[in-house]
Amino acid sequence: MTNTKTDQRSRPRLSARARRWFADHAHAAYVIRRLGRYVLTLWGALTVAFIFFRLIPGDPVSTYLASLEQSHVHNAEEAQRIVDHYRELFGLNDSLFDQYIAYLRQLLVSHDLGPALIDFPTPSQIVILRALPWTIGLLGLSTVFSWILGTVLGVIVGWRRESRIADAVTSVALALSRIPYYLVALMLVYFFAFRLAWFPPMSAYAPSIERAFTVEFLVSVVKHGTLPALSIVMISVCNWLIITRTMVITTLGEDYLVFAEAKGLSERRVAVHYVLRNCWLPLITAFGIRLGSIFNGSVLVERLFMYPGLGNLLVQSLLMLDYNTLQGIVALSIFGVLTANAAIDLLLPILDPRVKY
């Protein structure tokens, strides 16, 4: 009885002590809250993705066997024996809960996603790691370049909003921003690959060149990646330009800008240190989220150019219901987006003092 009363008294003390500690350490409390939300959201998103793939009719082994039946003559009894073996190997005979626990253990503990059906018996993480550098090289560089160029042009167009050139650039950006990536990619392929023959229409490098860090190989990679990158950059630059221009225009006329101009500061200094600085938060937030989402891969662009990135791999895995590879790509995408969001939440108070812990 005495122990029970002691426990009941200690709980409020611990709770009050914890609240006092969080109040005294605002920075640490902010980081703990954000990291806790990040872990909880990551677990929930991975769980939803796991359940979603299990709701798709069929299973990878049956799908693979059906594709073999269309092109090969096989013995029914032998085929069933193969199906039973691979269903056991992929863990498809276990209950949904057991598959879920095995999935979390593989993902978080052993970091082994299991064999990939599209390249059996290669582990899925190896297949994903093969495609990852191509997607990072294509989408990562395209995202960074388009964000920098679009932001700079947006500030200039917004600052010079009354000039004819700014109006013309804005009109062109508005028109291009409505065009889908894949349509731009098709037009680029038609003109620069088939009509002018300046660039190759597909693949990531010439098949006759051996993969190595040589000048010949790098030149081939750049040449093959130009059209896919242009199809992404052209539209992304227009979107960033419009977003930045809108935010710049909303800040013009503010009292602090009038005061800065009255002090005799140059237009360049006012535009960079006053206007652009007050637009940083939404721009950096959107850029971080976009950079985190590159792990999705640009499915249509990569598929159109037969580029060996994650987007193309995602389509191939989906056609064969390759659970292990699909879940690995989706988990990587979820991790990238949520990690980018968490990093932004932790960096914003440092970048802008107006964001309080």
Say yes or no to pLDDT of 37 above 80. yes
Q: Which amino acid is at 80?
A: Q
**Residue 180: which of 336, 299, 333 has the closest Cα?**
299
Place of tokens 């909303």: 250
Tell me which of 357 and 69 has the higher pLDDT. 69
Q: How far apart are CA 100 and CA 103, in angstroms?
A: 5
Per-residue confidence (pLDDT) for residue 10, from 0 to 100: 47
Mean pLDDT, to the nearest integer, of 70-81? 57
Query: Tens of pLDDT along 78-120?
Result: 556 666 666 666 666 667 777 788 777 777 777 777 777 777 7
Mean pLDDT, to the nearest integer, of 326-343? 82
Per-residue confidence (pLDDT) for residue 62, from 0 to 100: 63
Whole-number average pLDDT of the chain: 76
Is the CA virtual torsion 202, 206, 210, 213 positive or negative? Answer: negative
Mean pLDDT, to the nearest integer, of 172-192? 84
Enter the CATH code of domain 129-351: 1.10.3720.10
Contact at 8 Å (CB) between 198 and 225? no
Query: Tens of pLDDT along 186-223?
Result: 888 888 888 888 888 887 778 777 777 778 888 888 88
Say yes or no to pLDDT of 225 above 70. yes
pTM above 0.75, yes or no: no
Q: Express as a percent the part of the chain with pLDDT over 70.
A: 78
Domain-wise residue ranges, the chain: 2-119, 129-351
φ, ψ (nearest 5 deg) of residue 25: -120, 75
Say yes or no to pLDDT of 63 above 70. no
